[in-house]
Structure 1
């Protein structure tokens, strides 16, 4: 249902817009509307959207960015109250709009329609609530095309199209303020649409589903690579103490934020007409890339002696518009946020000296309220926890992201894990809910979801559609929202229907369409095939059948929860058929009790064993044997960070979770190498921020502390702590029902546990000696037991 107010404003744009105006990567247009008001207090709710991105100002103050990433059928708008910014006299509503080309280019994750446009709905009311004026977009607005900013696709950030080259002398300084002379600006044109017969506008306005991103001022920690003036630069960074760069100078300086972050960098300057400033943002110091940007050679990320910074550079040519005496500054801030730990500033002054007054940034991201805590007797675990939390934060903006530096795209495999981590850290499912909708919206006619979405170009990784089903199952257990599951169950059936139709004569899921990417994992031995097991060249992949069977089992739970018992039974039956087909066709004739990567193909990976355990093809001692072989036999292709979550789940399922601590050694090495967020993989070493690596969050919350839901909506909780190599651990994790606190310690052969959780939730506590205690209507438990004696050598 469209909003009741939608027709009160019009979509507008610049006149005489031609196809050649959209050549290149993108172009900016400025819009203004003035409103005269009398004295008194005012209220004003503004609803605003644009195609493709906007920045809204009211009387010179930036008040809203957007629109939130959506697509053709969910074009989001933001709502903001700006009454406290309105004044007696002239008021200015001003919007900077970035239009990305409809034909392609620019930010891959930002949708665009055939028409550029701006929409503003603004009712201005007096203190009694009476409507006294409007600032709706219509023919009374004026606009001007930007002639100062050029955008390029970039070499490193080629998915984003955000690299700027700016001629400050052409900027319309003060365009967003009341004192600006807009006499030469053009009158806008307004669109008209026939919507009386079921036709849709290009933009289906939809209320933003998530909170606005936070913006918080931060300072760089330190500067390096300077030959002189180190003290002066440090004072500028620490306290905005002005720094003068003489005319005819050339300065190169590297700034360190202390951790990888995302934010809007701002340079505040005066004088220095003709000065050229280059801003290069980088995740780390590294050796020269092997292949730009894909293959990298990285070690100690902080080594600025043997390493260098690589990335796309923004370039700003100063207008000399600011004056230090009157504190009228010339600010430069790129339109889109940047990702960086290090920023290289290269400054070349001309005939005038340049004065810098500020060099700082506003950190931005999804407002994740982390309420969870964790610490243990192993001090390294605190570092792994903190880096995991930071990595997750950096990969959350308007969607979950694979990486903030290179792509900013929401991929299903990454996102399934990120959502789980978010639940444990914050009990927040708002971004998750929009993610479910995103992938549902991406569905293709054959029944598959796209692998990444929103995305202006479609990509299909068939297995990623199954991760969408896993997400929904996770949410059922977290929130118990039956209405949500009922809504998406037809989509679940469509995905499963695709895999059902792909079965071959033996009952296995057959080879995937050659036009699709059958990615499984970034394993080293699958490097040349871009993460696709070698067995795919000769037939079906075992892992596809196993993941499909696992999705069927989870879908059966979803259907039962939604009251669709017949559908649940059908899914269970299908899953069993697949399981039997795998047992018949995919067991190795050489590696006893293990599965091959394809029927009749004696190639092996940890992946096939993992999913065989998770789906129940291998059970008991057979499962333990297969997992033991998979992690000890070097002929089995090992998992990368992407699949580690599932490896650890399989080891937990077969009672071999004690091996996980050793398998976290790559995370400890990353920490030792100076990473402040987790890298994507060890194959390409491209991205240094990929939140599928934040798996320690889950391990410490769900395994070490042992907190898991055992009924939908956390209707019942299990606490089953894992001791392993630790002497003590304690923490707080979040659920949909509230916080759960767990603390345990081992001392003098005894185990003490103290736990608290929401009183109305039943909880089963499982202890190391095999006892299980169910507690109802109390919400707390405290116990001390004697630890079982370790088994004699040679015995299990």
Structure 2
């Protein structure tokens, strides 16, 4: 929908843009608008967007970057209040724009259209005099094409296209300030579009649906590796703490590894003077490791902090100083990569030429989605607090303008990863804004065949059929969390399209048939399936049991969504389809050799934990059958085990069949990762590529929804359930968020008694299920406390019910 102010400003670009400018990885253009203002104060809501990315400056101050990631039909703009940055007299609004080529290359998650462009709408108002000054983009803006920065796709960060090589002498230093001489700049060119005959502009503007990313100043904590004298190392330590500068003599080479203390995402900042023609290399790395087996995919990692036996690997940013600045620090040269970097460690290598270099500051601005973590957790096991903290940090690092698989390598939003990440976000903050954006994005990715794309936004189309089903799961999660009936009604046609694709593949046996060979039938990063990139071997011979069961589970969840949306007949149809699929699976995929277990495919005696898990989740196995099958799968090494990616579903299945006590042993790899120095959870044990993958943040959900036991018993969390799992603990407590506010739970076991106190939003009903099997429903008051006799054997009986 067009906004009433949209036509007041024009989309602009530089007139000297050529075909060659579109042929590389990406190129920058600088824009300036100088405005003369009378006496203040000033009010100004500035609306801005760009193709492909921008960073906004007002009077030399960096304000923000954007726009939020969208796609061809949803191009976001940002609204910002900049009145407090304006002053009487001359002011400059400046924008650095990165254009990624339409033909491809650059950051795969950043969309681009056939035209480059910048859009700014800014009415500057004086509330006292009612004077209005327009600063909209038009032909009065000045622009300059950058000739200093060369972007490359990178070897490690090949999905991003953000690695920089910068000649500082060619940068327009001070271009974002009022005093800058822009005499040589040219006037921008405005685009003109025919909008009267239904033809859409390249950019259909929509207001940003999520908050701006935060940017907070941070310092590096320590030096992890240094080759030189103790005195020189002390200078570097003073630099990191802000107590001094580092002087590097002419024709010298210095290499220093600095440690941020944890894996993070941020904009690295270097302030320097002198050093003309020197070479400054920045290598950002997640950890120390052995030499990669296959760059960047297969790695050999152990203790992530071992700087003696390990090394740092990654793409290198190069900056050549112009030699500006002075020793006093009153005028300094600055280097900051345009896109944020992911790192725990940063290696700085400096080689000076004829002129010495003085490094005055080395810091970074941490960035990410501003999730407000209000949840808490504590227990009698101190290791659980460590796992909780690392899980929260991992989730933070994988949240920016979308959820991300990993911040270092891809920064792409995959449906499987995101379903879990959204649930973790609900528990921690109750914030569903990024989730709602995610639902819309996968809905927007729907292909004519009926499947959603597996990762989106993405300029390269990828299809993993099972990932379309995860989108349905996340919509069901949101129904239970927020109860947004209108949103679910909107997405029902797309849900039906996804389910329709699977329905059309059903073969004569009643099973979901083999997928299109051009699609990637990924299930899990299991070691035994690594040669086929996570695809079970059974896929070579026909249908996959897991896909059949995932489809049946999606049908049942879609039926509940349809019921909630008052589509009873559609719900009934989905349930009938699910029953038919389960019947076919039980007929063709039950093992002849291992009673009660499901094979990975019909007439294939291959087994995995995955088939047993999804049989339980979908209802294809009864509680007793599922319990026996899962016990067999967990204890028989011939069954392909789950990786971190599938652990969430494994734990849900264990809950359903009364085996949740096994989760403690299954979390052993998480405890090992913590001991190996990871500050975020790794992607998997097969490739060991990424050290930050938020599908591993599953302890958040386990402690919130199982140990504390907080869950939604009705759509929209209109009724709260609390059923704590005791297991090996003697105490647990904390806070879990809902859309209505926090739920606080504290329980302990002492001398044969179980004591619990709980507090929740007082207008909601809460049903508590106690370890002895009894339950109580509290309709108002918002709190409850009780003590009951409790025996471990009674708890086991209750969990199995």
* TM-score band w.r.t. shorter chain: over 0.9
Q: Which 10-residue stretch deviates more, 59-68 or 360-369?
A: 59-68
**Alpha-carbon distance in structure 2 between the residues aligned to 1:707 and 1:98:** 45
Which of 351, 355, 364 pairs up with 1:352?
A: 355
C-alpha distance in 1, partners of 2:562/2:87? Answer: 56
Residue 225 of structure 2 corresponds to residue 217 of structure 1 = no
Partner of 1:202: 202
Aligned ranges for residues 419-434 of structure 1 at < 5 Å? 419-434=422-437
CA displacement 1:663-710 (0-9 Å, x = unmatched): 000000000000000000001000000000000000000000001101
Distance (whole Å) between structure 2 residues aligned to residue 183 and residue 371 of structure 1? 52
| Aligned counterpart in structure 2 of residue 282 of structure 1, from 281, 285, 288 | 285
What residue in structure 2 maps to residue 715 of structure 1?
718
Q: In the alignment, which residue of structure 1 is the partner of 2:668?
A: 665
Output one character per residue of 1:311-361: Cα deviation in whole Å (capped at 9) or x when no partner. Answer: 001000010111133610101000000000000000111111111111000
- 1:300 corresponds to which residue? 303
Structure 2 gaps, min length 5: none
- 1:568 aligned to 2:606? no
> What secondary structure is seen at the aligned counterpart in 2 of 1:68?
coil
Question: How many angstroms does 1:765 deviate by?
Answer: 0.7
Question: How does 1:116-131 map onto structure 2 within 5 Å?
Answer: 116-128=116-128, 130-131=130-131
SS at match of 1:254: strand
CA contact (8 A) 1:64 1:78 kept: no
Q: Who is 2:776 aligned against? A: 773
Q: Does 1:534 align with 2:537?
A: yes
| CA deviation after TM superposition for structure 1 residue 40, in Å | 2.5
Show the 5 A alignment for 1:389-404: 389-404=392-407
Distance 1:741 1:34 in 2: 54
User: What CA distance in whole angstroms lies between the structure 2 residues aligned with 1:101 and 1:721?
Assistant: 53
Q: Which runs of 5+ in 1 are unaligned?
A: none
Q: Cα deviations across residues 747-780 of structure 1 (Å, max 9, x unaligned)?
A: 1111111111111111111111110111111211
Alignment partner of 2:531: what SS? coil
Alpha-carbon deviation of 1:225?
2.4
Contact 1:240/1:359 (8 A) holds in 2: no
Look up the match of 1:114. 114
> TM-score, with normalisation over the residues of structure 2?
0.98
Is 1:63–1:80's contact at 8 Å kept on the other side of the alignment?
A: no
Q: Within the alignment, does 1:68 sit opposite 2:68 as a pair? A: yes
Deviation at residue 791 of structure 1 after TM alignment: 7.6
Corresponding position: 1:608 with 2:608: no
SS in 1 for 2:123: strand
Provide the C-alpha distance between the structure 1 equivalents of 2:275 and 2:62, rounded to a whole number of angstroms. 26
Question: In 1, Cα distance between the equivalents of 2:187 and 2:676?
Answer: 56
Aligned-partner Cα distance in 2 for 1:129–1:518: 65
SS in 2 for 1:225: strand
Query: 1:44 is matched with which residue?
Result: 44
Could you say what secondary structure the match of 1:196 adopts?
coil
Aligned to 2:158: 158
Which range moves more in the overlay, 613-622 or 510-519? 613-622
User: How far apart are the structure 2 equivalents of 1:386 and 1:12?
Assistant: 46
1:550 aligns with 2:518: no
How far 1:789 sits from its partner (Å)?
5.1
Structure 1 runs (4+) deviating above 4 angstroms are 791-796
Q: Is the 8 A contact 1:587 1:595 kept in 2?
A: yes
Q: For residues 445 and 252 of structure 1, what CA distance do their matches in structure 2 show?
A: 53
Q: 2:330 aligns with which of 327, 342, 346?
A: 327
2-structure distance, mates of 1:253, 1:444? 49
Q: Which whole-Å CA distance do the structure 2 matches of 1:212 and 1:526 have between them?
A: 40
Alpha carbons of 1:794 and 1:325: their partners in 2 closer, same or farther (altered >3 Å)? closer
Specify the alignment match of 1:175 in structure 2: 175
Going from structure 1 to structure 2, the CA distance change for 1:59 and 1:789 (only over 3 Å counts) comes to closer
User: How far apart, in 2, do the equivalents of 1:438 and 1:132 lie?
Assistant: 38
Q: Distance in 1 between matches of 2:782 and 2:359?
A: 58
Which SS does the other structure have where 1:651 is aligned? helix
- CA contact under 8 A between 2:771 and 2:794: conserved in structure 1? no
Query: Structure 2 vs 1, CA of residues 793 and 84 (structure 1 numbering), >3 Å: closer, same or farther?
Result: closer
Contact (CA 8 Å) 1:268, 1:331: kept in 2 or not?
A: yes
Cα–Cα, structure 1 residues 699 and 792, in superposed 2: closer, same or farther, change >3 Å? closer
Distance in 2 between the 1:21 and 1:503 partners? Answer: 49
Partner of 1:741: helix, strand, or coil?
Answer: strand
Q: Aligned pairs, how many?
A: 796
- Name the CA shift for 1:215/1:793 in 2 (closer, same or farther; >3 Å): closer
Hey, what's the Cα distance between the residues in 2 that align with 1:561 and 1:224?
A: 56
Distance 1:291 1:656 in 2: 39
The alpha-carbon deviation at position 794 of structure 1 amounts to: 14
Q: Is the CA contact 1:123–1:131 (under 8 Å) kept in the aligned structure 2?
A: no
Aligned positions of 1:494-643 closer than 5 A: 494-643=497-646
The DSSP-based 3-state class of the residue aligned with 1:604 is: coil
- Kept after mapping to 2: 8 A contact 1:247/1:351: yes
Change (3 A) 1:42 1:770: same
The aligned counterpart of 2:25 is 25
User: How far did residue 240 of structure 1 move?
Assistant: 4.5
Question: Quick one: distance in 2 between partners of 1:259 and 1:561?
Answer: 44
Instruction: Say whether the 8 Å CA contact 2:707–2:732 is kept in structure 1.
Output: yes
1:486–1:241 distance in 2 versus 1, CA, 3 Å: same
RMSD: 1.4
2:55 corresponds in structure 1 to 55
How many angstroms does 1:515 deviate by? 0.6
- State whether residues 152 and 163 of structure 1, in contact with CA within 8 Å, keep that contact through their aligned partners in structure 2: yes
Q: How far apart, in 1, do the equivalents of 2:165 and 2:612 lie?
A: 51
What is the alpha-carbon distance in structure 1 between the residues aligned to residue 243 and residue 10 of structure 2? 43
Contact map agreement 2:773 2:795 (CA 8 A) in 1: no
Give the C-alpha shift of residue 259 in structure 1: 0.2
Give the SS at the match of 2:516.
Answer: coil
Equivalent residue, structure 1, for 2:77:
77
The corresponding residue for 1:8 is 8
